[in-house]
Structure 1
Amino acid sequence: MSLPTQARVVIIGGGVIGCSVAYHLSKQGWTDVVLLERKQLTSGTTWHAAGLIAQLRATRNMTRLAKYSQELYGALEAETGVATGFRRCGSITVALTDERREEILRQASMARAFGVEVEEISPDEVADRYPHLNIDGVTAGVWLPRDGQGDPANIALALARGARQMGAQVAERTKVTGVARDGRRVTGVDWVGEDGSSGHTACDHVVNCAGMWGHQVGRMLGTNVPLHACEHFYIVTESIPGLTSLPVLRVPDECAYYKEDAGKILLGAFEPQAKPWAMDGIPDSFEFDQLPEDFDHFEPILEAAVNRMPMLAEAGIHTFFNGPESFTPDDAYHLGLAPEMDNVWVAAGFNSIGIQSAGGAGMALAQWMDAGEKPFDLGDVDISRMQPFQGNRHYLFERSKETLGLLYADHFPYRQKAKARGIRRSPFHHHLQERGAVFGELAGWERANWFARAGQARAYDYSWQRQNWFANAAAEHRAVRENVGLYDMSSFGKIRVEGPEAEAFLNHVGGGDVSGPVGKITYTQFLNPAGGIEADVTVTRLSETAYLVVTPAATRLADQTWLARHRGDFRVTLTDMTAAEGVLAVMGPMSRALLERVSPNDFTNAANPFGTAQEIELGMGLARAHRVSYVGELGWEIYVSADMAGHAFETLWDAGQELNLTLCGLHMMDSCRMEKGFRHFGHDITCEDHVLEAGLGFAVKTEKPGFIGRDAVLRKRETGLQNRLVQFRLTDPEPMLYHAEPILRDGAVVGHLTSGAYGHHLGAAMGMGYVPCAGESAAQVLASTYEIEVAGVRVRAEASLAPFYDPKGTRLRG
Structure 2
Amino acid sequence: MSNTVPSSARVVIVGGGVIGCSVAYHLTKLGIKDVVLLERKTLTCGTTWHAAGLVPTLRATYNMSMLAKYSAGLYEGLEAETGQATGFVRNGSLSVATHQERFTELKRGASMAKLCGFPCEVVNPEQALDLWPLLNIEDIVGGVYLPLDGVVNPVDVTQALAKGARMGGAKIIENTQVLDIKIKDGKAAGVVTAQGDIDAEFVVNCAGMWARNFGKKAGVNIPLHAAEHYYVVTEPMPEINGIMLPTLRDLDYYNYFKTDAGKLLIGTFEPNAKPWGHEGIPDSFSFDELPPDFDHLEPYLEAAIRRIPALEKTGLQVFFNGPESFTPDDRYHLGEAPELRNYFVAAGFNSVGIQSAGGAGKVLAEWIAKGHAPMDLWDVDIKRNLPFQGNSQYLYDRTTEGLGLLYAMHWPFRQFESARNARKSILHDRLVAANACYGEVVGWERANFFAPQGQKPEYGYSWGKQNWFEWSAAEHNAVRKTVGLFDQSSFAKILVQGRDAMSVLNRICSNNIDVEPGKIVYTQWLNERGGIEADLTVTRLEKESFLIVTGPWTQTRELNWLRRNTPDEANVVYTDVTSSMAVISVMGPNARNLLQPLTTDDLSNEGFPFATSREIELGYARVRASRITYVGELGWELYIPTEFAPDVFDRIVAAGEPHGLKLCGYHALNSLRIEKGYRHFGHDVVEEDTPLEAGLSFASDFNKAGGFIGKEALLKQKAEGVKKRMVLFKFLDPEATNYHEEPIYRNGEIVGRTTSGMYGHYIGGNVAMGYVCNAEGATTDWVKEGKYEIEVATKRYEVEASLRAFYDPEMNKIKC
Q: TM-score range by the shorter chain?
A: over 0.9
Letter in 2 for 1:643: E
Q: Residue 488 of structure 1 aligns with which residue? A: 487
SS in 2 for 1:14: coil
DSSP-derived class of the 1:174 partner: coil
Mapped partners of 1:740, 1:758: distance in 2:
16
Aligned ranges for residues 265-344 of structure 1 at < 5 Å?
265-344=264-343
Give, as a single letter, the amino acid of the residue that structure 1 aligns with 2:564.
Answer: R
Cα offset for 1:748? Answer: 1.5
Give the alignment partner of residue 80 of structure 2, picking from 57, 75, 78: 78
Conservation of the 8 A alpha-carbon contact between 1:113 and 1:750: no
Correspondence for 2:591: 591
Distance 1:475 1:782 in 2: 33
Match in the other structure for 2:711: 710
| Alignment match, 2:610 | 610
For 1:118, which of 120, 131, 134 is the aligned residue? 120
**Structure 2 Cα separation of the partners of residues 232 and 725 of structure 1:** 43
Deviations, residues 367-387 of structure 1 (Å, cap 9, x unaligned):
001110110110000000011
Superimposed CA distance per residue, residues 164-219 of structure 1 (whole angstroms, 9 cap, x where no aligned partner): 11111111111011223235223221112xxxxx2111111111100011111111
- Matched residue SS, 1:368: helix
Amino acid aligned to 2:361: G
Q: What is the 5 A alignment of 1:629-640?
A: 629-640=629-640
Question: What is the rounded CA distance, in whole Å, between the counterparts of 1:678 and 1:776 in structure 2?
Answer: 20
Matches of 1:186 and 1:356 in 2, distance apart? 29
| Structure 1 residue 221, shift from structure 2 partner | 2.0
Partner of 1:101: 103
Q: Which residue of 2 aligns with 1:195?
A: none
Distance (Å, rounded) in 2 between the aligned partners of 1:776 and 1:734: 30
Give the match for residue 427 of structure 1: 426
Amino acid at match of 1:227: L
Instruction: Letter of the 2:138 partner, please give it.
Output: D
Q: 2:659 is aligned with what amino acid? A: L
| TM-score (norm. length: structure 2) | 0.98
- Find the counterpart in structure 2 of residue 642 from structure 1: 642
Which segment drifts farther, 26-35 or 368-377?
Answer: 26-35
Distance in 1 (CA, whole Å) between partners of 2:725 and 2:691 is 10
1:653-692 map, 5 Å: 653-692=653-692
Q: Which residue of 2 aligns with 1:775?
A: 777
Q: Distance in 2 between matches of 1:400 and 1:328?
A: 7
Gaps of 5+ in 1: 193-197
Please name the residue that 1:369 is paired with: 368
For the residue of structure 2 that corresponds to 1:259, the secondary structure is: strand
Q: Do the aligned residues in 1 keep the contact of 2:4 with 2:173 (CA within 8 Å)?
A: no
> Once superposed, what is the RMSD of the aligned Cα atoms?
1.0
Matched with 1:229 is 226
Give the partner amino acid of 2:627: R
Q: Deviations over 1:592-615 (max 9, x none)?
A: 011102111111121211111111
Q: Is the 8 A contact 2:724 2:777 kept in 1?
A: no
Q: What SS does structure 1 have at the residue aligned with 2:694? A: coil
- Deviation at residue 777 of structure 1 after TM alignment: 3.0
Deviation string 1:316-335 (CA, Å, 9 cap, x unpaired) is: 21111100000000000000
Quote the Cα distance in structure 1 between the aligned partners of 2:773 and 2:284. Answer: 55
2: CA distance between counterparts of 1:229 and 1:267? 21
Q: Deviations over 1:730-789 (max 9, x none)?
A: 000001111111111111121111111111111111111111133353133122111111
Between the aligned partners of 2:607 and 2:735, the Cα distance in structure 1 is 44
1:115 offset after TM fit, Å? 2.1
Whole-angstrom distance in 2 between the partners of 1:264 and 1:706: 65
Number of residue pairs the alignment of both structures matches? 809
CA distance in 2, matches of 1:304, 1:28: 47
* Match of residue 235 from structure 2: 238
Segments of 4+ in structure 1 off by > 6 A?
Answer: none
Structure 2 unaligned residues grouped into runs of 5+: none
Distance in 2 separating the partners of 1:775 and 1:350: 38
The residue that corresponds to 1:158 in the other structure is 160
Deviations 1:463-513 (A, max 9, x none): 111111111100000110000000111101111111111111111111100
- Name which of structure 1's ranges 525-534 and 111-120 shifts more when overlaid on structure 2: 111-120
CA distance in 1, matches of 2:86, 2:531: 38
- d(CA) in 2 for partners of 1:259, 1:37: 30
d(CA) in 1 for partners of 2:105, 2:75: 29
Give yes or no for the alignment of 1:400 onto 2:399.
yes
Alpha-carbon displacement from aligned partner over 1:653-704 (angstroms, at most 9, x marks no partner):
1111222311000100000001100011101100001210100011111112
Partner Cα distance (2:410, 2:288) in 1: 32
Counterpart for residue 753 of structure 2: 752
Structure-1 separation of matches of 2:248 and 2:508: 49
**Distance in 1, Cα, partners of 2:786 & 2:658:** 49
Higher alpha-carbon deviation: 15-24 or 428-437: 428-437
Report if aligned partners of 1:743, 1:786 keep a CA contact under 8 Å in 2.
yes
Distance across 1 between alignment mates of 2:583 and 2:508: 26
Deviations 1:563-597 (A, max 9, x none): 11001143211111111111000000000011102
Q: 1:487 touches 1:665 (CA, 8 Å); kept in 2?
A: yes
Instruction: Give matches, 1:136-147, under 5 Å.
Output: 136-147=138-149
For 1:204, give the aligned amino acid: E
Preserved contact between residue 227 and residue 326 of structure 1 (Cα < 8 Å)? yes
Q: Distance in 1 between matches of 2:422 and 2:610?
A: 35
Distance 1:145 1:538 in 2: 47
Alignment-derived partner of residue 628 in structure 1: 628
Distance 2:597 2:62 in 1: 49
Aligned to 1:811: 813
Change (3 A) 1:432 1:242: closer
Equivalent residue, structure 1, for 2:799: 797
Deviates more, 1:310-319 or 1:474-483: 310-319
Counterpart of 1:625 in 2: which secondary structure? strand
Match of 2:7 in 1: 5
Between 1:461-470 and 1:538-547, the stretch displaced more is: 461-470
Deviations 1:2-40 (A, max 9, x none): 211111111111000010111111211112211111111
Give the Cα–Cα distance (whole angstroms) in 1 for the partners of residues 773 and 13 of structure 2.
40
- Alpha-carbon distance, 1:155 to partner: 0.8
Matched, 1:736 2:737: yes
Instruction: Give, in whole Å, the separation in 2 of the partners of 1:219 and 1:562.
Output: 22
**2:89 & 2:100 partners in 1: Cα distance?**
32
* SS of 2:91 mapped into structure 1: coil
Report 1:712-727 matches (<5 A): 712-727=713-728
Secondary structure class of the residue paired with 2:19: helix
**For 1:411, what is the secondary structure of its paired residue?**
coil
CA contact (8 A) 1:272 1:402 kept: yes
Distance 2:363 2:739 in 1: 27
1:708 and 1:251 map into 2 onto residues whose CA distance is: 50
- What is the percentage of aligned positions where both structures have the same residue? 53
Partner of 1:449: 448
Return the offset for 1:86. 0.7
Contact 2:722 2:779 in 1 (8 A): no
Residue deviations 1:287-342 (CA, integer Å, cap 9, x gap):
00010111111111111111111121222211111000000000000000111111
Deviates more, 1:675-684 or 1:25-34: 25-34
Q: Which amino acid aligns with 2:203?
A: V
Instruction: Work out the CA distance in 1 between the residues paired with 2:480 and 2:640.
Output: 25
SS of equivalent to 1:496:
strand
Residue identity matched to 2:508: V
* Other structure's SS at 1:495 match: strand
Residue 210 of structure 1 corresponds to 207
Residues 622 and 640 in structure 2, CA contact (< 8 A), matched pair in contact too? yes
Using the TM superposition, give the Cα deviation of residue 797 of structure 1 relative to its aligned residue in structure 2, in angstroms: 0.4
Question: For 1:431, what is the secondary structure of its paired residue?
Answer: helix
Provide the secondary structure at the position in 1 that maps to 2:177: strand
What is the CA–CA distance in structure 2 between the aligned matches of 1:106 and 1:242, rounded to whole Å? 33
CA distance in 2, matches of 1:136, 1:272: 24
Contact 2:617 2:623 in 1 (8 A): yes
Partner residue, 1:574:
574
Q: Which residue of 1 aligns with 2:25?
A: 23
